[in-house]
Structure 1
């Protein structure tokens, strides 16, 4: 169906004949006249109304014109302030933008008796406002500013930023509002950097310092990640590389897989299902999302199958107490417990330290026999094991050399068996 729909859409684009957006059985259509609402109406309307209000507010405050407002990367701006800023930081940032921060001009306006002079206490500038703080020529403030630029440049290098983009940002900040981005470009620079410089200079110094940057920064950096095939690209948008997953979905399924790998012993599964733990988990992390989810579901189902199977009254746990036989009329009466001094009864269990080695060996043999019985019954019924069903549908994608973690665990288990249980083969 997806392939047919894609073909129809491509044909409609080539011919110019597009289907009517109003379908026969559509009982509700929400549109603003130019586009329809396909997602949550509440979120969409809230976003549209917020965008309209913000555009009017920035225009009234002479911060951004309508054209400049459309050039700002608001999506990443909002994501950054929500995920990286603490609540106190967001409150301070809002005060800083609307000139309500603790500069001397603001303090003089609030309490002129306590702060009689609005001048800068560092350089004696007549007015200290939010714009002057970052441009103050005082030696101490200048040193703090340069240290901040150096730390930002180091962070950009660690994030594998486009080298030219990184140089432009560093040199522009070092100019301290006295230079333009266009003046930093060298002859023969690619057109995308020229367009970035034009939009950047149109927005200006204050917008850049306060985080209202052009969308071109994100577009150029994303192209750089794609060209270098960096893993940072997958962190930006997993859906484009991992079968339609978002970053949060990818993290959740990989966290589930990690728990299953750490908590599942291959020898506790059926003989056929134990092969699920022999995959290459590095390849599994890079595979399609359906492969990862099917593998996790298969392991959970295999563990559940072993837990629910029970033959001849044996339990799944080696240390579990044997079941008591049901009492009948002709059964011998239960022997009363001996009462100790003080009226308390002595525990009737046997210490695990007194368990002999042949008894431990018998438990291992019984568990192996139970697994063989399970496998034989499943085959006799003509049923497929979890591994059979999984390998038939995803065998080509899951066929791998095996996990190093699995091999280390098997080697460690063999060493423990040979060191502590010499009688077990």
Structure 2
């Protein structure tokens, strides 16, 4: 029986993690849960999975949550960033699944690693912001870092077909989002509703916008650089609208190994939870006879500059990836509030990267300071 601490239990990934655990009660149990503001759903999850510890975003929400739970949970509720770190490092957990959205996932994930927990990583921002520090901690504590994102899970699985030292290139696939093929002028007038309407995946609001700008793929490039210890020049991105091939690796002999499957997050989640075993999921099989027309297209860097910004951040190094991420979070939130247009998301990120540059990737203090400064500058540009 594997005990799981789950960060971000009420988000789209968290809900799917619990769906997998629900179907394998003899294999997994929930040790601790953390969520942000969805009090009602968290209360339902607590009553079903009976965690030993739970965290909620604020003291106010903690009070509201307590009213929905039996009295014995009063001393099991912790709050905010500190609460997330306590959940992440909870004593009885064997694995921590980091599914919090955004920069808020960095410190809890580090806390889990320092506590010796294996990590199921769905929070790409952890490696975008602090990739060097995080992976050094993973090696020092000798824990497993298992990817939950479909693309990184695909790479992880494909790499098992060969030796890491023979790896030549990683090829990340991108759906292209809802605006694939649109030009710059067309993107100036797209609506929030259109941006949230992803053609293949059901995702949260923030990641849906990131997919529409291709920033999500840029963040995945940075994540892959650290997760698989590969330089940026050996990472390629292709747009694959069908989302059937989730990513590929190329070995030095020219062989390319791909992982294929239906677009369902329960597949990579289950593999991370059960690795090296595979669980028998009751999902539809991929029918190759219905996949005759698979497309692979070069990304449009003119209409979708976010991907190039991510490669630029990697090239600059230091705290630039953290700045990219922080500015993007602020800009996406502004777009979700209809305060800026769709193209202004990446314009805000680029302007912020020009301003905030000082700091070392070896210093957690520098990374967190850059995150703070980037948010302030991005908010100033938007204002």
Range of TM-score over shorter length: under 0.3
* Bigger CA radius of gyration: 1
TM-score normalised according to structure 1 size: 0.18
Higher relative contact order (CA 8 A, sep 6+): 2
TM-score normalised according to structure 2 size: 0.20
Q: Which has more helix, going by share of residues?
A: 1
